[in-house]
Each structure stands twice: as structure tokens, then as C-alpha cells.
Structure 1
């Protein structure tokens, strides 16, 4: 009887742990475009929360790499999920580039700084804007999120992450 209760307890804990980790991953360009459009419509605190959520869940999403002729360079990396691309964040003038090999601890540190104590404003720029490509090149392919800091001294916190 006790074994049965312990088994039921373990199964229910595992069930809630797995179902609680369900994430909505942004994997396609269309999903990314929709995500950016939705992000434009919400207040700053919600924007930062949404960006932080995607930033943390994106640690499991690896961007497919292709040559210009469409031949895939990266084929399989274990259990990883592949996506087409991620928006570029520019915070206090520093480009935050999150790539496949960005250290998780840097992503976590960045996510901790994404709150209204440090960020004053976020402007979401669509990837369809040709001026973005002129300024940011291929980094603008999936949109750009420009953020300004509440105090100029906070810019150094983002610069120290060295994500460019």
C-alpha cells in the first residue's frame, strides 16, 4: 500500500513538472513576425517579461545555418530544437547577439537585467524595414528590439555581458 502511494506521488510530481515546463517556442519566421507584432502592442513591463521568457526558452532553440545556396551546414545536435532566427536586441547602443554558442549564464544574466529598473523604453522594429538592413545588416533579418536604459550608468552592465 505504501509503495503504491509513493508510486502515485512520484508519477504526479513528474506529470506536473513536465506539464509546467511547456513552452511556446518561436521557431519560424512567421511565428517570429507575429511575436514581434504582438510585442509592439503591450506595455513596457509586459514587453520585458515577454522578451525575458523568450530569451530563456530560446536557450533550447538553435538557429539553422545555411549557405546562400540553401545547403544546410548544421544537421543534428542531439535533442536541440531548430528555429529560423531570433530578433537582435540593442540595449543602450550595445548589440546583444545571442547565438548557438552563447553561454547560458550570460543569457540568464541578461534576462535578470530586463526589467523596468534598468530599461526605460523598448522599440520593436520589424524586419521588413529596409533601413534596418542598411544599419544592422543580416542581424536585422528577424527584427530589432531597441532598448534605452533608465540611467546611463546601467549601460555598463549590459556592455559587461560582452554579447556582441
Structure 2
């Protein structure tokens, strides 16, 4: 049951993030952006079956490759976000068509990794998805916040 719950949590978080991402929102760089990823990491690491004990080497390698790809995908995602400043100097962010394409690419890569794991007969846990989503959200937010701090002021 834990795997199904984890997958439902991933889908719910993704729907929330994607929905919010495509709307123009004031960027709050001082808020606790690490809180949701931290909660996802804690939930993911509570699963003692995240690594398939019968195929431990392949499972660890697959998880490591997955996390490395998620680091790259989170960076790409962070660069697809449109940033601008309003008259008051507040930074705003909105997802673009490239953001939607990045999400599609991330899902395709995730499905590809799942296929590789299935071909290797590695049991894959929903907790690995949660861990990957946590890293993805954290990296994306770090990239966007870095870009926002280095945003040139708009002159009117």
C-alpha cells in the first residue's frame, strides 16, 4: 500500500506544482522553499524497501542515475521559468511553453528509467519517486532563486 500512497503523493504534488507554475506569481525568495522537499525526503527515506535487496547493486545504480538526471532536469526546469520585475522591484515568475516541454521530458525520462529497471528485474519503490521529486523541486527552486537575485532591474 505504501507504494500506491507514494505514487498518489507524487501525482498530487506534481499537479499542484505544475498548476502553480503556469500562473504568474510573485516570487518569494525568502520563504522556506526547502520545506516541501524536506518533507518528501523524510517520507521517502522511511521506506526500508527503497532499494531492492535482491538486486541491490542494480537498484543503487538505478537510483544514483535517477538522482543525477533529476539534478540536471531540475536545473533545466529552473532555466525555463520566465522572470521579471514589476515597478516596485518585486520579482515575478511564470512557466513558459519550455517549462511544459521540460515537464514532458522529465516524465519521459522517468518512464525510461522505470523501463530500464523493469528490464533488469529491479523492484522499484514509489519512495524513489518521492526522493527524486524532492531533489527536483529543491534544485529548480535554487536555480530560480539564484536567477532572481541576479536579475537586472527593469527600467521604464
Structure number with the higher helix fraction is 2
User: TM-score scaled to structure 2, two decimals?
Assistant: 0.32
Structure number with the higher strand fraction is 1
The structure number with the bigger radius of gyration is: 1
User: TM-score scaled to structure 1, two decimals?
Assistant: 0.31
